[in-house]
Structure 1
């Protein structure tokens, strides 16, 4: 009987303990976030737009004062009346008491006095802002080419004396006119997207005041009155240039680049004259996408072959290369020789009706290539097809292990290309062919399996999906 009572008491004690633990668990689970320290909660809220951060004040008294301590402000015009939103911005800035700002983002799509915008930006500068993001359109006017032609907001001169900004992003209807002498002492990342520039060479002037810049992105619509400029930044490691234009006539420009520390380069858009001064000895990755309106090639007879090869020769130290040399605009032949891509181990290539010769040229000068991805961007008819290189013109990399071909249609020149790869690749491990759902995987695999393979370990697979 004593043992029975003891067992009953032990079971009862165990159940009380389980209920207690369960109760504690429920309480901890429901209040776990609120129990975090203020600094951590403010860090979490800093990733939200300010409107949503303010909304958390209704959760409880614990949350009510937190948003005013968040080291980030993200203010976006939300289609209410401009006067009302202007009042809201001033109210937010008056209540916000964080001594410093990690990030200040202002997005504005409405007529507004420059006085207000200048004031808000100066508030951010006074709080030692580190990341400043401005996207401002003072009206919505666009021309027939969908290019903004409305009133510009010119950046306040006080911005150019800021010593704390590390990241600066400018986009939209913003005008840039830096003073002759200034310095962004801490600026490492600069993004300029479709803004306008003053009458002088303001891109070069701006860069001259960035002594520690490492990452630069310039996106232009070729309507900013800047035809020639220089990028001379010895500390620059990443460079992205994009030229967008929807005008009937082709835009013109000249860029001279001196960036000896460059590790990453990306170009997209209409290719004119780009000159690299000095060898890119530290280049690791390059991405090039060429495109143009059809009228530029049909009416103005502009072809891009020589320009593409000239650009490629400057990028020949790249370890990873993604290349889309264009479609109709690439018909004219150029020459990549005598450049050798000794470091190239991965090539992503978008092949079109007229750029097979560019792929051939690259394969013959990349002796250490390991991975080749071919993504076909045309169907059926081809103007310039794959042609097996003549004897003595060069050899396929002896280190090639992986091939991916997307968009395979069993066209004659595609079959010849796969046959060439299988015949020449010594250590090929895998070759993956992707076809459309209209084709039979089994039929394609059967035909390709009949080709002789130099590599005895090569695995050939056919998949659906382009």
Structure 2
């Protein structure tokens, strides 16, 4: 770890052994601009952590010991613009709060092997995002807990791949927050999602490009769903399991 004391600007660390722990010096380097951490290593970030010049942070399959460690790492990056997270079942984080006024790009993928057995935590918010400068969002969310997105008025392009029960309500909440988005891609299971659940309140007046992707079941709601997007110019259907009947497709905007 001598590089940490050598005015390094980019650091890419990958580990194969889960018993390793990163030294605290990794989280106190004032010259770091890009930090990439990969592997099932234990991450414990002290409250004194400080990465004042970090612009891009990539976290792949790490083992944060608790919510506080994850919160400390994100909060200590006061200039953060790009954040990418891939999580797995070894992750101990229950609530992940991303409140970053500087954040411009955010990607988070939860694998389908994420699971929690504690019933008392079942209704807790797993991901909370508040990023007024955010322009690009990519979320793959294969768990049943709700997703809370707010204050993303600068969002330009969003990709959502949601799965399992209550993610349908998360989808509605997200769309309500996407007031200025122009490019939107949706995929994941939508079975059981009905318009009366909230879609009439969704109005994306600036959306021009919409893609409905794999595993979507849109036939019961596609025509009315499209009424939410008055300026829609391009509609893409990719590996859709059930497509609307011909008389319904005719109502789709060109």
Deviations 1:311-331 (Å, cap 9, x if unpaired)? 22222321110111x23x532
Q: 1:256 to 1:239 in 2, by over 3 A?
A: same
| Structure 1 equivalent of residue 138 of structure 2 | 266
Deviations 1:269-328 (Å, cap 9, x if unpaired)? 3152122233x2211000011235xxxxxxxxx35432322222222321110111x23x
| Structure 2 equivalent of residue 180 of structure 1 | 47
Deviations 1:103-130 (Å, cap 9, x if unpaired)? xxxxxxxxxxxxxxxxxxx222233221
| Equivalent runs, 1:107-118 vs 2, <5 Å | none
Gaps of 5+ in 1: 1-121, 139-150, 293-301, 387-412, 429-466
Task: Provide the TM-score with structure 2 as the length reference.
Answer: 0.86
- 1:305 is aligned, of 168, 190, 193, to 168
| Structure 2 equivalent of residue 343 of structure 1 | 206
Alpha-carbon offset, residue 357 of structure 1: 4.5
Check the 8 A contact 1:137/1:172 in 2, yes or no.
Answer: yes
Gaps of 5+ in 2: none
Alpha-carbon offset, residue 361 of structure 1: 4.3
Alpha-carbon offset, residue 242 of structure 1: 1.2
- 1:277 is aligned, of 150, 156, 180, to 150
Check the 8 A contact 1:347/1:369 in 2, yes or no.
Answer: yes
| Equivalent runs, 1:444-463 vs 2, <5 Å | none
Check the 8 A contact 1:257/1:275 in 2, yes or no.
Answer: yes
- Looking at secondary structure, tell me which structure has more helix per residue: 1
SS at match of 2:14: strand
**Which protein has the larger Cα radius of gyration, Structure 1 or Structure 2?**
1
Q: 1:227 to 1:135 in 2, by over 3 A?
A: same
Q: 1:124 to 1:247 in 2, by over 3 A?
A: closer
Q: 1:359 to 1:218 in 2, by over 3 A?
A: farther
SS at match of 2:31: coil
Check the 8 A contact 2:67/2:92 in 1, yes or no.
Answer: no
Alpha-carbon offset, residue 221 of structure 1: 1.2
Check the 8 A contact 1:350/1:376 in 2, yes or no.
Answer: yes
Asked if residue 363 in structure 1 is aligned to residue 226 in structure 2, the reply is yes
Check the 8 A contact 1:304/1:331 in 2, yes or no.
Answer: no
Check the 8 A contact 1:303/1:332 in 2, yes or no.
Answer: no
Higher RCO (CA-CA < 8 Å; seq separation 6+): 2
Residues matched between the structures, number: 246
| Structure 1 equivalent of residue 192 of structure 2 | 331
Asked if residue 316 in structure 1 is aligned to residue 179 in structure 2, the reply is yes
CA RMSD, 1 decimal: 2.4
Alpha-carbon offset, residue 353 of structure 1: 6.1
Check the 8 A contact 1:241/1:267 in 2, yes or no.
Answer: yes
Q: Return the alpha-carbon distance in structure 1 between the equivalents of residues 126 and 103 of structure 2.
A: 19
Q: Return the alpha-carbon distance in structure 1 between the equivalents of residues 87 and 24 of structure 2.
A: 23
| Equivalent runs, 1:105-184 vs 2, <5 Å | 122-138=1-17, 151-184=18-51
Alpha-carbon offset, residue 173 of structure 1: 1.7
SS at match of 2:36: strand
Q: 1:355 to 1:305 in 2, by over 3 A?
A: farther
Q: Return the alpha-carbon distance in structure 1 between the equivalents of residues 130 and 193 of structure 2.
A: 28
Q: 1:136 to 1:351 in 2, by over 3 A?
A: closer
Task: Provide the TM-score with structure 1 as the length reference.
Answer: 0.49
Q: Return the alpha-carbon distance in structure 2 between the equivalents of residues 351 and 243 of structure 1.
A: 17
